[in-house]
Structure 1
Amino acid sequence: MDWLELELSIEYDQHKRRKRYNKTNIQRRTKRLQKQEQIYPDLLMSTQGKQNERAETARSNTVDFHNNIFIDHYEDEQQDFIHLNEYTLQNDNENHDEIIGNLSFHIYDDSEDNEQALSCDDGSNEASALPLHHYTCNTTLDYCEKFMIIARQSHISKIHTNSFLSLIKSGLPVPNTMPSTEKQIRDLLGVQELFTKRSVCLLCSLDFDYKQITCPRCSTSNKTRVAFVYDGDIEVIIKNVMLRLYSNIDEYKVKIKANDDVDKTRDIPFGSINVMNKNHKLIIFGVTGDCPAISLICNFINHNGYYCCWFCFIKGEHIGQKRQYRYSSLILRTAEQYSKGSKKAERKKNNIYGHLGKTMLDDILDLPLPNAVVIDYLHVTLLGHAKAIILSIYRQLKPIQREQLNIQLRNQKFPHFFNRKIRSMDNFAFVKGTEVRNLLFYGLLPHMNLLLPSEQYAHLALYVIAIRLLHSGHIFGNKTNEIADRLFSRFYVDHELFYDQLQPFKLHLHAHYSYMYETHGSLCNLGCFGQESFIGAISSEHHGTRYYGDSITYYYNIDLCIQRKKIRKATIDGPYDLSSTTPNDYDYMNRIHSSLCMCTDLSSCCLIYRRFIMKNETFHSLIYNRRQTSVSYFVQYSLANGAIEYRFGIIELFFVCNSVNYAIIKHHRIKELCSNFFKNSCYYHLLKKPIDSMYFILQKDHCQIDVVRTDYINNHCIVVEKNDYLFVTNILSYSEHD
């Protein structure tokens, strides 16, 4: 165990100890309050009932007394009430109500001294452990944590956060320990300043204080010549992240030791590579982004110019005021040719086959260009050519067909973990990449089979199947990329037959997907979804400020603090959500139980469940009534481990018998092969094998009930209901759907 793991272990143990102590203190405080309410019920009732009687008369006599009571209340509440009882017993019954009334009035008076005594500015443990006010057991720290989480999820600015705090504080009983500003909350939560800001002169490379307007050396006052640099405390950030994920890291270490790659991550430790007690070199693998970004950082001609491909020497043609890239055999650029071209362009200050000069990546990347360029399928496929052909097909349809298609798309149902469904094509202006992906993979072929001519429908299937093969992993083993390349090549060759002047540079880049799949992996692991989400988060949180760097670092400090305090719930495979029904409520359970167990006590032997977690994915059943419109109960399964034949059906319920988990599934038989739709097409021989492994035509009614072990359930399915059959496709990759 190295020093970092040892330090993390110590911090993790201290964190658990503090959490245990806080829980014990809360329980003890609650018991004391309950005991005090039983001993002094009349005192508490009269305090609330006579808060305004004769206040001015006795206020001067009780100010100092009440301050002492309130401050000592959190140090020793039992002793407080003893002092209070001794004080009140010295007065006769006539003055008793007057004193209590004055005491109650003083509680609702906004005393500055009391607020200073209970201020949370210092962020100390003593202040954070205090209750929010007299009439609650909720601590100030817990309340402020929940408030800050909601404030961050709502993306409200600092000004509005302070306004909400002021409003909440004004509605609480006084005195209270609620912070009045966001700065006080940050101090209470222990938000660390993980970034330091400095200015760098771009002319002389001098570092100076960011508060200075001009460079001390060259005295430049041009703002474009000064860059702001934010330095992060990487050691603290990594330690906080590792501390938060410590339990997950330990769990992953157990899997690595057992070489148990259940999730099929294909991570380095599961490849029989010894990473312990050995030094390994970390290489900078590649660069990715949309076409303008890649062209800019590679110092290459933009994507609408001649010879704009980084991988090959395709020139392109100018047709109809557009640059078109028709299908042709690829003449690839080698790493040596790429390097020579960039150096020649740098020397001659001219465009040399797309090169505009050398790039800064030459001194950064460990892989040579163009091999280090990773095509981003989010922009090239989903927001690029896929979106273009979908809109082109939509324009070819008749108005009544368009309306029918939009209704079907809006009504299509998905599993519960699909955060974005399918957007109708009449609302495609601001479509998201995930929406195009869901339409391309799960909605386009099921809904278009009756709307398009057979040849155009088969030609569209070439593109959909090719992208799904490259996206979803090794479906056909090492031949997956070869099959996808054959499908796309034929799609590219015949593209002009169905789409007019729709062969841009993004279509050509698809021809390099096969090589990229072989060298970099599946498309589901290469998209820029994370970067796009980060940019979207920045745009939604700047709140009108021009200083994006300050905004990013400010909210990052808060988010990291909140994440560090979150308790991660481990997801354990197994039954979930016990049903209120009993096995006797189902007629077939007696027969099923007798075939699985020798006992006669059905109720105690079998337990019914509504949901089940398998491979970190939740599956629903028909008896789960809170599923709303989601369909997470239609699955692909087999009857035995390693069986070649797969079945499809609807999960009616889950049950446990003799510590073995089962599912009762209504089996829908395959009606015909999906490839039968393309028998009259010239693309039939290319489509038959891959499309029959992804899309299925099932009978609409179930034919029998299968009792299946939950281990034999493979994945969820997307179902499109037709007039006399079900058009079904299974989910092959879950990595982008969460």
Structure 2
Amino acid sequence: MDVELSLAMETAEDRNEQRRLTRNNLSRKQTIVNLMNGLSSYVIPKAKNFAECDVLNSEILSSSETMHTLHGNYDIDFDLISAADCIGNAEIDDLDDDQSDDNFNLINELLSSNNKQVSLPLHSYTDISTKEFCTNLLRAFRQTNLCKTYSTNMLKLINSGLPQPNNLPTSLNSLLRYMNVENLFTKRKVCLSCQFDIEYSATSCFKCISNDKTQFANVYDIDYAIVFSEIVERHIVDIAKYREKILSEKYDNINNDISFQKIYRSFLNTTFYQPFISTLIHLDGIPLDTSTKLTLWLLSCSILELPPHLRNQRKNMIILSMWVGTRQPIIKIWLRECIPSLNKLKSSGFSIRGGQKWFVYFLGLIGDCPAIKLALNHIGNNGYYSCWYCKIEGVHMCNKRQYHYEEVPTMRSINSYRSESKEAEVKGENINGHLGLSFFHEILDIPLPHSILMDYMHITLLRHTRSVVLQIYESIVPKKRSEIDYQLKFQQFPHTFNRKLKPIQSGHMKASEIKNLLLYGLLPIFYQHLQVDKAAHIALFVCAIRIDFALQKIINQQEVDNGKRNEGAFDITRLSINNIDELLSWHKRVCDCNQTATCIIIYHRCVIKNQTYHSLSYPKRQSTNSYFVKYTNDRRDTLFGAIELSFTYKNSTLALINNYPNEHLFSDVFASSSYHSSLSKYINTYFYLLQAKPSSFHYVPIHKILNICVVFEKDDFIIVTPISPVYEHD
């Protein structure tokens, strides 16, 4: 009996093992099919003998070999990291800027020049053209984010399964050449020991006899004329429209974009070439790998004649040059080919379709402190004379450099900046913070230091605001800190907020989280734990930043919205009006009909100025609060309340709002402060103190709803702050 049982168990185990292997084989085949993104439709219908050939997993493994891609000095594609790093370091982009659409649009643009190419069949047993197959294959590679090495391996694998001979390219480079994809990048390798260029495929430097990979850096430069011409052709209408606004003085006082400011206005009076675009140069670095300390430094620029919502899109940010290495870039080595090429482009211009010649200007430089230090050839931000604009020396106190406030600081002028830079270059010394000439002074059309732009994210958020918050947090007793962290963690925001608030105790906070804390949460959450004067001083800082955002009026926001969605209610609810006494009584007052079910239709959500508003009846709102709003009435009073539901009545859309009355002015909290008179002019525009419970229902047409609000609940009252423009928090 035991023998029979053991035999039965062995047989069952063999069957299970066979089933497992079969499932694994099918899974591997399906993975390959998914990577090819629908290329299974290219089955050979005429060759039945090929349909009977089932490539098993073992055959795939035996037929696939490791392919090494040879890199030349001038190449179509480039790898920033190895094939293994492509998988290990793959990240998901959390920014909502339609990455997949960008990829497909880029492919379509790259392939547009190939329309007239005569394409042969893929092989003699099919009518599918080589061009059609390669186009879909290239789209599949981009959609799956395959690196160059794995793309070449996939091409080899597909080629091995096709009838021989065939016209399929055998490497990614040959595929791109066949599709007439333009060569946009040149690449070179630099030895950091001797600072000379070496062969890109070389593994050692023959000049200094060094084979240490950490002493090599890769530099990638783009074909500037092609990239600039393509972007101008794509947005020539947008550039013309925005230039008209820039030249019209009626927008000067209601728009804080750089193109409407004093320095740009003075630049317009000095331009010689027409038509032209002006750009803002951006320099920054980011680590690629923590184990090898590999970093990527990116030199890019944006076109100032594009509206902000187009200017900041990834596809419109022009990459000028890249540095990939384990050390900070040496600017003169990195940009010794880039800067002369940009100078040549400035003098000769670039042509677009139709033969029209355009010119380019470089107006400013922006980046964080380490990046600007490299770009300006200036002392670091913790040294003596570290300011880019003035000559404040600084003193060493308490183990750190401190810079005392000066009412009338000595500013750096254009002449002094240039003369001191030249003196530092000649003597090789630190002259008032200058270490030498900046490599960018050759191409900047606005002279230094006027062309240096302050970086809002690093200076205001990551530096000043974070330091203020940490000092305030540390001055509060531990028990109160726990209460503050709890409020921050569970604070509700509208659904449009990509990031909420983190407890300060959790550590690192991103710039967007600090911005939301500064604009909305800092004052309502912290003011009760601080002295009145200190809280009032912080309130002035918060109001100043919010006023800066308010200067960007709705004029540009309307261009962003583009009327993508019609205003009105949507997402019809199953609620019956017969169960809502407030609506029934209102209907009896305004209408004589008996068909309440058809006269009034109830909805969960509504769209106002292309902004979606929720209601308390919306079941999927979860922890978001997109229903508490600021609105007005016929007397133009400022009111606040929660949307209970939206409904339509005789072609009109209204909201049933539960009104929360005002308790008192928020500025009254700071009545005993010396800042009260200055603060009361602004604080009551951004923060409101309301009663904790609603008092009555209002029936409000949706066009009288003004803003979504962020609500901070206290024991006996609530504090609300409207989101001024829709884009303020993002």
TM-score, L = length of structure 1: 0.57
Give the conservation status (yes or no) of the 8 Å contact 1:199–1:207: yes
Query: Partners in 1 of 2:651 and 2:236 — Cα distance?
Result: 31
- Which amino acid letter does the alignment assign opposite residue 684 of structure 1? H
Instruction: Report the secondary structure of 2:708's partner residue.
Output: strand
Provide Cα deviations, 1:225-259, integer angstroms capped at 9, x if missing partner: 9863333476478758976x899999999999x99
Q: CA deviation at 1:413?
A: 0.8
2:275 matches 1:279: yes
Matches within 5 A, 1:154-233: 192=181, 195-199=184-188, 210-211=200-201, 228-232=219-223
**Does the C-alpha gap of structure 1 residues 190 and 392 become closer, same or farther in structure 2, counting only changes over 3 Å?**
farther
1:460 aligns to what?
A: 538
Aligned to 2:710: 718
Per the alignment, residue 358 of structure 1 pairs with 437
Q: Which residue of 2 aligns with 1:330?
A: 408
Following the alignment from structure 1 to structure 2, what is the Cα–Cα distance between the partners of residues 327 and 266? 27
Higher RCO (C-alpha 8 Å, min separation 6): 1
One of 472, 480, 504 as aligned partner of 1:401: 480
1:462 and 1:687 in contact (8 A); partners too: yes
Q: Cα distance, 1:723 vs. partner? A: 0.8
1:341–1:353 Cα contact (<8 Å) kept: yes
Shift of 1:653: 2.2
Is 1:662 the counterpart of 2:647? The answer is no
**How does 1:240-251 map onto structure 2 within 5 Å?**
none
The SS at the match of 1:416 is coil
Are 1:377 and 2:366 counterparts?
no
Matches within 5 A, 1:18-167: 71-72=44-45, 106=52, 124-125=131-132, 149=143, 151-152=144-145
- Cα deviations across residues 287-317 of structure 1 (Å, max 9, x unaligned)? 1112222222222222122222122232222
Are the aligned partners of 1:597 and 1:658 in contact in 2 as well (CA < 8 Å)?
Answer: no
**Distance change in 2, residues 1:587/1:122 (3 Å):** same
Corresponding residue number in structure 1 for 2:496: 417
Gap change, CA 1:371 and 1:417, over 3 Å in 2 = same
Deviations 1:598-626 (A, max 9, x none): 86654444443322333332221222211
Task: State the distance in 1 between where 2:181 and 2:467 align.
Answer: 47
C-alpha separation in 2, matches of 1:104 and 1:126: 18
Larger radius of gyration: 1
Please tell me whether residue 619 in structure 1 is matched to residue 613 in structure 2: yes
Deviation, 1:571, is 2.4
User: How far apart, CA to CA, are the structure 2 residues paired with 1:232 and 1:206?
Assistant: 22
Give the alignment partner of residue 389 of structure 1, picking from 428, 448, 468.
Answer: 468
Preserved CA contact (<8 Å) 1:635 1:651: yes
Q: What amino acid sits opposite 2:573 in the alignment? A: S
Greater share of strand residues, 1 or 2? 2
Are 2:590 and 1:589 aligned?
no
The corresponding residue for 1:574 is 567
Pick closer, same or farther for the CA change 1:278–1:316 going to 2, 3 Å: closer
Query: In the aligned structure 1, how far is the partner of 2:678 from the partner of 2:420?
Result: 39
Structure 1 residue identity aligned to 2:431: I
Structure 2: state its 5+ residue gaps: 1-41, 61-121, 158-167, 279-360
Partner of 1:701, secondary structure, is coil
Specify every segment of 5 or more residues in structure 1 that has no aligned partner in the other structure, as ranges.
1-68, 75-101, 129-139, 168-178, 478-521, 525-567
Cα distance in 1, alignment partners of residues 377 and 128 from structure 2: 52
Counterpart of 1:473 in structure 2 is 551
Distance 1:677 1:252 in 2: 44
Contact 1:573/1:612, CA 8 A, preserved across alignment: no
CA contact under 8 A between 1:200 and 1:208: conserved in structure 2?
Answer: yes
- The one-letter code of the counterpart of 1:411 is F
Structure number having the greater helix percentage: 1
Partner of 1:60: none
Query: Following TM superposition, by how much is the alpha carbon of 1:668 offset from its aligned partner in structure 2, in angstroms?
Result: 1.3
Q: Deviations over 1:692-716 (max 9, x none)?
A: 1111111112222222232222222
- Name the count of aligned residue pairs: 518
CA shift at 1:675, angstroms? 1.1
- For 1:304, which of 378, 382, 388 is the aligned residue? 382
Deviations 1:319-357 (A, max 9, x none): 111111232203233333333333343344433322233
1:526-578 C-alpha deviation (Å, 9 max, x unpaired): xxxxxxxxxxxxxxxxxxxxxxxxxxxxxxxxxxxxxxxxxx99722413533
* Deviations 1:182-214 (CA, angstroms, capped at 9, x unpaired): 969998997946533343889999999744679
SS, match of residue 674 in structure 2: coil
Q: Which amino acid aligns with 1:403?
A: S
For 2:171 and 2:643, locate their aligned partners in 1 and report how far apart those are by CA, in whole Å: 49
Q: Matched residues in 2 for 1:185 and 1:648: separation?
A: 64
Q: 1:258-297: per-residue Cα shift (whole Å, max 9, x none)?
A: 9999xx8778999999x9x973563422111122222222
1:119, distance to aligned residue in structure 2 (A): 9.7
Q: Distance in 2 between matches of 1:220 and 1:119?
A: 56
Letter in 1 for 2:275: N
Secondary structure of 1:571's counterpart equals coil
CA 116–422 in structure 1, closer or farther in 2 if over 3 Å, else same: farther
- Counterpart of 2:544, as a letter, is A
| Counterparts of 2:500 and 2:651, CA distance in 1 | 37
* 3-state secondary structure, aligned to 2:497: coil
What secondary structure, in the 3-state scheme, does the structure 2 residue paired with 1:362 have? coil
d(CA) in 2 for partners of 1:391, 1:195: 46
For 1:725 and 1:189, the matched residues in 2 are separated by: 69
Distance 1:602 1:378 in 2: 54
Identity of aligned residues (%): 31
CA offset at residue 595 of structure 1? 6.5
Supply the distance in 2 between the matched residues of 1:212 and 1:638 (Cα, whole angstroms): 71
C-alpha contact (below 8 Å) 1:123/1:187 kept by paired residues: no
Relative distance call for 1:252 and 1:160 in structure 2 (3 A) is: same
CA contact (8 A) 1:198 1:208 kept: no
C-alpha separation between the residues in 2 aligned to 1:345 and 1:371?
Answer: 20
Local SS of the residue matching 1:418: coil
What secondary structure is seen at the aligned counterpart in 1 of 2:711? strand
Pairwise CA distance, 1:415: 1.0
Q: Is the 8 A contact 1:120 1:127 kept in 2?
A: no
1:680 and 2:685 correspond: no
Matched-pair contact (CA < 8 Å) for 1:412–1:422? yes
Alignment RMSD: 5.5
Using the size of structure 2 for normalisation, the TM-score is 0.58
